[in-house]
């Protein structure tokens, strides 16, 4: 899963990033509000950790912009402000949770996981493409009810393809959503992950379930 941290205190932001990466998350960091707002608007994240006290733009204004722009990813406000008015205003503007500094480094992970569970609970709990079923909350996939064992990155790719079905997803788009912003979409890593995922799905289904459209990208096919 891909997380965005918008936090101007570099030491705190880097500590949160390192902790979340150890838990298997892919993390982008912005130390300014305007850059973070742009990243959140342009990319698709599974959750956003948003500081309120940013030097160039107030976090509540960023939150208001994101929600008015139909960015639906869970937003967790991270701030030293502990006044009830600020907390209530943030929630009224569309924040999903509130984390007050100082906090233990385990807390961002717990809050993110809880917010994502609630988010998927509001939407469809299962993504279905023909005989394929993908359950984001449980991070599970099956073909005709038979589980398919996937590594973390393989599942992230499959989930994104299922969310976008029947659209064709380019390598660049997959890289932007599944990996962090430093990832090179033209490296062999993505092709290796796609190849392994395709092999596992083909073994489970008895036929190919991921099509490669030369020059365009990848798409799931309903069988």
Domains annotated on the chain, with CATH: 2-122 (3.40.50.2300), 127-220 (1.10.10.10)
Q: Please, which residues bridge with residue 220 across strands? A: 210
Cα dihedral 128, 131, 137, 140, rounded to 10, equals: -160
8 pLDDT higher than 90: yes
pTM of the complete model beyond 0.95: no
Give the pLDDT band of residue 84 (cuts 50, 70, 90): low
Q: What is the pLDDT of residue 124?
A: 57
Mean pLDDT along residues 92-120? 84
80 pLDDT higher than 60: yes
pLDDT tens digits for range 151-161: 888 998 999 99
Give the pLDDT band of residue 103 (cuts 50, 70, 90): confident
**Whole-number Å distance between alpha carbons of 174 and 138:** 21
* Residue whose C-alpha is closest to residue 153's, from 171, 174, 168: 174
Q: What is the pLDDT of residue 137?
A: 73
Give the pLDDT band of residue 49 (cuts 50, 70, 90): very high
Give the pLDDT band of residue 223 (cuts 50, 70, 90): low
Q: What is the pLDDT of residue 75?
A: 94
Q: What is the pLDDT of residue 98?
A: 86
Phi and psi at residue 7, in whole multiples of 5°? Answer: -155, 125
* Residue whose C-alpha is closest to residue 97's, from 117, 114, 109, 85: 114
Q: How many Cα neighbours within 13 Å face the side chain of 148? A: 28
Average pLDDT for the chain: 88
Give the pLDDT band of residue 81 (cuts 50, 70, 90): low
């Amino acid at each position: 899963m891909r997380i965005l941290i918008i936090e101007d205190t570099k030491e705190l932001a880097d500590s949160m990033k390192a902790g979340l990466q150890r838990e298997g998350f892919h993390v982008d960091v912005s130390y300014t509000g305007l850059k973070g707002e742009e990243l959140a608007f342009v990319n698709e994240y599974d959750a956003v950790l948003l500081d309120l006290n940013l030097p160039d733009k107030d976090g509540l204004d960023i939150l208001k912009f994101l929600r008015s722009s139909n960015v639906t990813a869970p937003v967790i406000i991270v701030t030293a402000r502990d006044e009830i008015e600020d907390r209530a205003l943030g929630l009224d503007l569309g924040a999903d949770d509130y984390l007050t500094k100082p906090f233990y480094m385990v807390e961002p992970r717990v809050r993110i996981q809880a917010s994502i569970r609630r988010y998927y609970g509001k939407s469809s709990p299962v993504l279905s493409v023909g005989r394929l079923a993908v359950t984001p909350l449980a991070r599970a996939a099956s073909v005709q009810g038979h589980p398919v064992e996937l590594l973390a990155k393989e599942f992230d790719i499959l989930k994104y393809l299922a969310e976008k079905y029947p659209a064709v997803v380019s390598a660049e788009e997959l890289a932007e959503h599944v990996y962090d912003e430093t990832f090179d979409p033209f490296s062999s890593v993505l092709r290796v992950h796609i190849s392994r995922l395709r092999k596992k799905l083909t073994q489970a289904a008895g036929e190919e379930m991921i099509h490669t459209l030369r020059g365009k990208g990848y798409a799931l096919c309903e069988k």
